[in-house]
Amino acid sequence: MDLNSVVYVESVNSNLICCVCQTPFVDPVVIESCGHTFCKNCITQALLTRSTCPVDRSHISSVNEFRPAAKIIVNMVNELLTYCPNKNAGCTYQGQRQLLIYHLKEECMFAKLACRNEECGEMILKKDLSKHMESCKARMVKCENCEAKVQLSTLEGHKFTCPVKNIECPFCHTTRIQSEHTLHLEECPEKPVTCLHVEFGCSWEGRQCDLSDHIVSCSYEPLKGFFSMYKQRNEALEQENQQLRTNIQELNNTVDLLENQVSAMSDWLSNFTDPKGLSSNSEGQHLNSSAHDILLSGNDHIKNEIENLNFSLVDIDAIMTENMRMQEEIQSVKNICHGLRMQMHYLLMEKRGGEPSVGTTGSVVRTGLNGPIGIGRTVPPNANNSKSGHDTSLESNMRPPRSLGPESPRQEKL
Amino acid sequence: MAALPKRIIKETERLIADAVPGISARPHEDNLRYFDVDITGPEQSPFEGGVFKLELFLPEEYPMAPPKVRFLTKIYHPNIDKLGRICLDILKDKWSPALQIRTVLLSIQALLSAPNPDDPLANDVAQHWKDNEPEAIAKAREWTQKYAENLVPPQE
pLDDT digits over A196-219, tens only? 888 888 888 888 888 888 888 888
Pairwise CA distance, residues A182 & A169, whole Å: 10
Closest CB to B98: pick one of A4, A48, A54: A54
In a domain? residue B93: yes
Residue ranges for chain A with pLDDT beneath 50 = 276-277, 280, 284, 358-414
List of chain B residues whose C-beta atoms are within 8 Å of the C-beta of residue A53:
96
Long-range CB contacts for residues B14-23, cutoff 8 Å, separation at least 24: B14/B102, B15/B101, B15/B102, B19/B155, B19/B156, B20/B102, B20/B105, B20/B106, B20/B109, B21/B156, B22/B109, B22/B154, B22/B156, B23/B102, B23/B105, B23/B106, B23/B109, B23/B154
pLDDT > 70 fraction of chain A, expressed in percent and rounded: 76
In a domain? residue B153: no
Which residues of B participate in catalysis according to the annotation?
Answer: 87
In a domain? residue B137: yes
Answer yes or no: do B6 and A46 touch at CB < 8 A: no
Structurally, chain B folds into a number of domains equal to 1
DSSP A47-90: HHH-SB-TTT--B--SSS-EEEPPHHHHHHHHT-EEE-TTGGGT
- B147: which residues sit within 8 A by CB, 6+ positions away? B50, B73, B74, B75
Interface check for A373 against chain B (CB to CB < 8 A): the answer is: no
List of chain B residues whose C-beta atoms are within 8 Å of the C-beta of residue A5:
6
Domain extent listing, chain A? 3-110, 192-219, 226-305
ipTM: 0.79
In a domain? residue B88: yes
In a domain? residue B156: no
- Which residues, numbered 22 to 61 in chain A, qualify as contacts with chain B under a Cβ-Cβ cut-off of 8 Å? 22-23, 42, 45-46, 48-50, 52-55, 57
Per-residue confidence (pLDDT) for residue B154, from 0 to 100: 53
Answer yes or no: do A21 and B6 touch at CB < 8 A: yes
CATH architecture under which domain A3-110 falls: 2-Layer Sandwich (3.30)
Q: Which domain holds residue B141?
A: 6-148
Per-residue confidence (pLDDT) for residue A78, from 0 to 100: 92
Per-residue confidence (pLDDT) for residue B153, from 0 to 100: 53
Per-residue confidence (pLDDT) for residue A171, from 0 to 100: 83
Here the CATH number for the domain that contains residue B56 is: 3.10.110.10
Interface check for A20 against chain B (CB to CB < 8 A): the answer is: yes
To the question of pTM greater than 0.90 for the whole model, the response is: no
